[in-house]
Structures are given as structure tokens and as C-alpha cells.
Structure 1
């Protein structure tokens, strides 16, 4: 029996204290993901512009740019605004810390010391979401390519039909209606409607059904294949 190995993701851990970074690496080691360190908010922003992260663990109390300011800057950048942030802080916190964290766009707020099982469970949720979003993006790109291919096939069919019609008129002296082209164009409209329905499903669905999505993509592949073979 073959087993599927989940895609390895990158996790950014940000803390100005080396011992805290070592502790986080030990806690997250069992997840077997790529762990990237940053010792300041500025270093974290540079790292996020260099590579893609599934989630960021961000210490609140840091000199210079603190966790709140760093989180706000992450959310301002188009390239990083969708990356979930878990803010981390010690037991001595002000009463408004959680509110401030959520107001700058943090997805969660945890207080040290962490329960290892709880921390890993929360991170696994974001890792799973990251992988599913990557899969959705790949499927959406596949759909766009299929639709573009269908349009190209239709354009080629139209040119061929026009040339054949011209030859028929020359031979018979009578017009030949482009019925095949009309059928192809109608099929293209149908494919476009299917694509629109799938894109709406991807945007609005509360859950993720990879099997259903794969089936819908397969339907479009067959439809495009039918256009390649010619009108029925």
C-alpha cells in the first residue's frame, strides 16, 4: 500500500532571545517542517519577502519593532498579508494585548509557557490550510489553462469552417451556414459556465472537497478534448 507524504511547509519563528528560538524549535521538531529563524521584526519581514511561509510564530515583546508593529507591517504587504500569525507572549501581559493582537490581524494569541500538544495542534491546522490553498491555486490555474485552450480550439475551428465554407460556395455557388462553428461556440459557452461555477464554489465553499473538484476538472478536460476531436 502506498502512502502519501504531506507537502513540507516553512514556519517562521520570530524572537529576539536565542533560548526562546531553541525552545520553539524543540517543540516544533516533531512536525518535521522547515523552521526558519528571525531575531527581530525587521529580519522577519525580510525573510517573508524571500520565501513563502505557512504560518508565523511572532513574539510580542521585542526591542525596536515589537510583535504588534511587525504583524501590522506583514498584513500591509500584498505578498505576505494572507500568512497567518500566532502572537506569543509571556505571562506578564497587559489586559489589552489580545485585543491589540487581533486588531492587527493576528490569527491567534498564546501565552508562555505553551502546552506543546496545543501549540502543535494549532500549527497543524494552519499547515493543512496552507496545503489546501496551494492545491486550490493549482486547480484554478489548471482550469484557466483549459478554458484558454478551449478558446484557442474554437478560434481554429472557426477559421477552418470559414475556409471550408468559402470552398463550398465556390464549387456550388450557394452559401454554407457555419453550423459546426455554432455548435463549437455553444460548447465553449457551456465550458465557460462550468468554469464560472467551479470558481464560485472555490471562493464560497466553507469546506474543501478535493475529489469533487478533481471530478469537475476532469469534466472540463473531456469537454476540451471533444473540441479537439471536432464537433459532434
Structure 2
């Protein structure tokens, strides 16, 4: 497994999983400029890497000795810590027509046949990188709101208690949506709008407390 690449644009990371070193080298050459790239040579190694750090997306070869790509994807989706990581499965040209279906049934987000178009691969991976960055920004904003509520807003008079409770309830909903992702059916712009409204509400509470 390689260390994360230096010079990546931010802390987002991509995991690439293949038992053949030349395939890993090719993937890293295509994706290395987008984000940090971490290599794994087996499904078992991939699972260990995911338990050590966060990844925006994982690209996994289907045909590997031991734990194959389908089994690796199923294990990733079966763990609470890793179940939300998007997976792109990769396979050779002589592909079984059932592979794509099997990939989606184990939770893969996409399925590509090698040799893949480098531009197409970069485009697909970039979508998941952007999503990861936006979700992380929203989570950071939610954390800031939590700190404001716990530190900057002292005990409120009775008439403000209801407003404070409402803001805390809405913030809890936002955190739930961030955790559950696409299951909630709420988009990033929706969450960003909700957080902006909460920021204003917290600002008013802080301002009122300082009077």
C-alpha cells in the first residue's frame, strides 16, 4: 500500500484496489492529480485501509484472488464505518453480462470495463470527490453551529427557550441527513440552505444573549 500522494489539492483520498501492480500504476497515473491515491493489492488490504482513514471513493477490480471485488464491496457496505463510501467496480473486456447486475446488488455506485477511457474515469471520480468535499463542508458548518449553541448561548430567558430548542432540533435533523446521505432524498443545496437558515437563527440567539 502506498502512502498518500503529496501535492494533492486537499485531504480527500481515493482508494484503488487491484492485485496487479501495473493496473495500480495506471490508475494512479490517471487519478493522482485529482486527490491523494492509496493503493491496496487485495480486498483484505482495502478493508484495513478503510478502517484507518476516510476515502471519498474506492475503485476495486472484480477479478482478484482470495476476496474478489464483489466480496470486497459487500464487506465494505456491511460495516457502519465504511458503508457510505462510493464504490466503482472495474473488470476486464471479457466481462460476464451478469457482472454489472452483481455489482449493483452489492452496493457499487458504478461499473467500468477495462481498458477504460481516462477522461471518463476522471470525470466519474471527480463527481464523488466533489460530493465528498461538499458533505465535509456541510458537516463542518454543522459542528460550528453546535459549538455556538453550547458555548456562545448561555441560559436563555423562558421566552427564548422554545427558539433554542427548535434550532437544536433542526440541527439534529441536518446531522441525520448528513449521515444517511442519499437515503434521505435531500440534496446538498437543500442542506446548505438549511444550515444557512440555522446560522442566522443561532446568530440571533447569540446577539440576544449578549444584550
Whether the TM-score (by the shorter chain) exceeds 0.5 is: yes
TM-aligned CA distance change 1:189 to 1:6, over 3 Å: farther
Structure 2 counterpart of 1:74? 76
Structure 2 counterpart of 1:130? 132
21, 26, 39: which one aligns with 1:18: 21
Structure 2 counterpart of 1:216? 198
145, 150, 165: which one aligns with 1:192: 165
TM-score, normalising length from structure 1? 0.76
Structure 2: state its 5+ residue gaps: 1-7, 178-184
CA distance in 2: counterparts of 1:208 and 1:6, whole angstroms: 23
CA distance in 1: counterparts of 2:71 and 2:30, whole angstroms: 26
Partner SS for 2:189:
coil
CA distance in 2: counterparts of 1:201 and 1:138, whole angstroms: 12
Q: How many residue pairs end up in the alignment?
A: 195
Shift of 1:27: 1.1
Structure 1: state its 5+ residue gaps: 158-183
Shift of 1:20: 0.3
Structure 1 counterpart of 2:63? 61
CA shift digits 1:161-182 (9 cap, x unpaired): xxxxxxxxxxxxxxxxxxxxxx
Q: Whose radius of gyration is greater, 1 or 2?
A: 1
Quote the RMSD (CA, aligned, Å): 2.3
Shift of 1:15: 0.2
CA distance in 2: counterparts of 1:189 and 1:143, whole angstroms: 17
TM-score, normalising length from structure 2? 0.83
Aligned pairs (5 A) from 1:89-168: 89-149=91-151, 153-154=154-155
- As a proportion of its length, which structure holds more helix? 1
Structure 1 counterpart of 2:3? none
